[in-house]
A and B are shown apart, each in its own frame.
Chain A
Amino acid sequence: MTAAADTATSAPRQRSHPFGWLVVAIPYAWLAVLFLVPFAIVVKISLSTAAIAQPPYTPVIDIFGGIGAITAAVRQFAIDNYVFLTEDSLYWRSYLQSLEIAVVSTFLTLLVGYPVAYGMARSSRAMRPILLMLVILPFWTSFLIRVYAWIGILKKEGLLNQLLLSIGVIHEPLTILNTNLAVYIGIVYSYLPFMVLPLYAALEKLDDTLLEAAQDLGCPPIKAFWKVTFPLSLPGVVAGCFLVFIPVTGEFVIPDLLGGTDTVMIGKTLWNEFFANRDWPLASAVAVVLLILLVVPIVVFQNQERKQQEKEG
């Protein structure tokens, strides 16, 4: 459109929007109060000490108590909780194991998800929306229930063992449930749509004539995949990996239901500190450290998303 070319990048005229600033202000304010501020509070609580009180920590800053009350409270801050985290091996083992599980399961999810996304993208035009819907549909049914169903499949008397025993592949039931393997299966299962969707989006947009050009220039199909298709799908790969890796690090439900006593993931640790031990300050410290670990991936993810949006815009 020459019209567009002529007007170049004209910013939208907002002068005629008397309430324009509200459109930005309302969601901004909401997120600032309900997303940013809580993080500040978590940091503050992590510097407090547990107490048998309501709420179960001290000091409690009375936000209406004036500067005096606040400075008095601040003086009681201590980094004891953080010191404790470094001393007790449970915690840094949890962090390491969480990262390890997250990395491995991201990789596994990519391994399983890429062929599925690729197959979807190569299917006929009519099939694609149907396949897309089929992949999204499980996402719309309860996550908890699907994980719980895996218990029934993977346990000693479960369906998988029954099947394998009945066809004679094994003679003793396998112990899968309550091991790390079950956790991997559960994670790959639950996060598969998060990997498949961005991959599919990237692969579907691929220009087929590029592959034809590669073949025309003498490149066999498998090599063409690695030299042309895969590199061009990288934005989808990256998006998918972030969408899996970051939340999995703090995943709670799957290690709790499917994992064993030696599966110590940080999400579980945080939950236990909070609900079982009622140690809010310690739980907060755990959260802060987890956040610090994730800050770099999160910021990279945000930048990626922003760049993608700008490219498409």
Chain B
Amino acid sequence: MVAAVGSVRRSFAPWNDPASKPFIEFRRVTKRFADFVAVDDLSLVIYEREFFALLGPSGCGKTTLMRMVAGFEEPTEGAVLLDGQDLAGVPPYRRPTNMMFQSYALFPHMSVEQNIAFGLKQDRMPKAEIAARVEEMLNLVKLKPFARRKPHQLSGGQRQRVALARSLAKKPKVLLLDEPLGALDKKLREETQFELIDLQQKLGLTFLIVTHDQEEAMTVADRIAVMDHGRVIQVATPAEIYEQPNSRYVADFIGNINLIEGRVTATAAGATRIEAPDSGAVVEIDQAVEAKLGDQVWFAIRPEKVRISLDAPLSGSPNTLSGEVWDIGYLGDVSIYHVRLANGATITATVTNQTRVVERPITWEDKVWLTWSRDGGVVLAR
């Protein structure tokens, strides 16, 4: 089952196809509240059938952006379009979008059935059709035996599924998910993430999820927009975001990153050399950088791409640093080495514990050498 989904997802990339039409579009949208700007001249395109994530810290404007699609906020400037239609002035109860609320917002005085049927009743659907659709939804989220219960008689996970069923009942063009998994414990959260992906593929809908949890975004999304202070910093697939961040902000926000500051000392076709006299690092990478000679740049490399060894490399080779093991974090599956350089900076190297040996060859205060390959990291100009 998962393999089938995966293969569909691998070939699904409408953002690379110049012929595909935008489904949800933000055109130079700005949203100002009395004392601050929540969304700042933002333009973004989301395609049909995407599972799109808005990722960022609290206050970055991601929820405001989503609420503008739902209709609970109107942009101060700019336009929000859905399937080519400008949504300005269209109230939330007339939009073909539905939202799954962070607090679930189930109607406490109605049963599960009535909650799910609520949206359908507003559309004046005939009774028999409503009953059929409700049954379909209940089966979808596996809550059939709980149909008559009221929200307070359900557990947290069950309530979440009712909220999901209710928001899908009207088969909306877009499903908006507002931090939907925050209240669940880790195991349940992971299970639900995969259920959501499954559901989205099965129903062929467009999902827009807002989250501050980068792992969640990486797991479920086809593309992620990383936001900061009302602006989109980078929009890309999870793999691109992780391996090719476009700025220190994105690199630092997702996962862990080592940043080495330096200057461009040589550029050639497809290769760049950076020197950081402060840390003593000489970096040579197979990447053409937009920066000019002498510019200040940052070399960013993920901890798992850094090799740690007690043996020194060939003298004079680039892409190497030496230091002392300052701290070791043992997480069971990986070991994280924090290595202190001569200038006081710390580089992190993550090593998978591939054998079950408990006594490690490298321990605290050992002198070690860190090396990385020529394509192990990226250079960031900002």
B interface footprint on A1-43 (CB within 8 Å = 1, 0 otherwise): 1110111111001011000000000000000000000000000
Number of interface residues of A (CB under 8 A): 12
Per DSSP, chain B at the interface is: loop
Contact between chains at B63 and A3 (CB < 8 Å): yes
Contact between chains at B102 and A13 (CB < 8 Å): no
Judge if B159 is at the interface, Cβ distance under 8 Å. Answer: no
Question: Knowing A1-B102, A2-B212 touch, does A7 contact B58 (C-beta < 8 A)?
Answer: no
Residue numbers in B under 8 Å from A13 (CB-CB): 72-74
Contact between chains at B33 and A6 (CB < 8 Å): no
Contact between chains at A5 and B73 (CB < 8 Å): no
Contact surface of A with B, Cβ cutoff 8 Å: 1-3, 5-10, 13, 15-16
A interface footprint on B81-94 (CB within 8 Å = 1, 0 otherwise): 00000000001000
Residue numbers in B under 8 Å from A10 (CB-CB): 33, 73
Contact between chains at B73 and A16 (CB < 8 Å): no
Contact between chains at B103 and A1 (CB < 8 Å): yes
Contact between chains at A5 and B72 (CB < 8 Å): no
Question: Knowing A1-B103, A16-B91 touch, does A6 contact B59 (C-beta < 8 A)?
Answer: yes
Residue numbers in A under 8 Å from B59 (CB-CB): 5-6
The residue in chain B whose Cβ has the minimal distance to the Cβ of A11 is B34
Contact between chains at A6 and B58 (CB < 8 Å): yes
Contact between chains at A8 and B63 (CB < 8 Å): no
Contact for B73 among A1, A2, A7, CB less than 8 A: A7
Contact between chains at A8 and B33 (CB < 8 Å): yes
Residue numbers in B under 8 Å from A3 (CB-CB): 63, 101-102, 178-179
Residue numbers in A under 8 Å from B212 (CB-CB): 2
A14 CB, min distance to chain B CBs, angstroms: 11
Question: Knowing A10-B73, A13-B72 touch, does A5 contact B34 (C-beta < 8 A)?
Answer: no
Contact between chains at A7 and B34 (CB < 8 Å): no
Bound Cα distance A8, B35 (Å): 10
Contact between chains at A5 and B58 (CB < 8 Å): yes
Contacts A1-B103, A3-B63, A15-B91 given; 20 further ones with Cβ under 8 A? A1-B102, A2-B58, A2-B63, A2-B102, A3-B179, A6-B38, A6-B58, A6-B59, A6-B60, A6-B61, A6-B64, A7-B64, A7-B67, A8-B33, A8-B38, A9-B34, A13-B72, A13-B73, A15-B74, A16-B91
A interface footprint on B1-43 (CB within 8 Å = 1, 0 otherwise): 0000000000000000000000000000000011110100000
A18 CB, min distance to chain B CBs, angstroms: 11
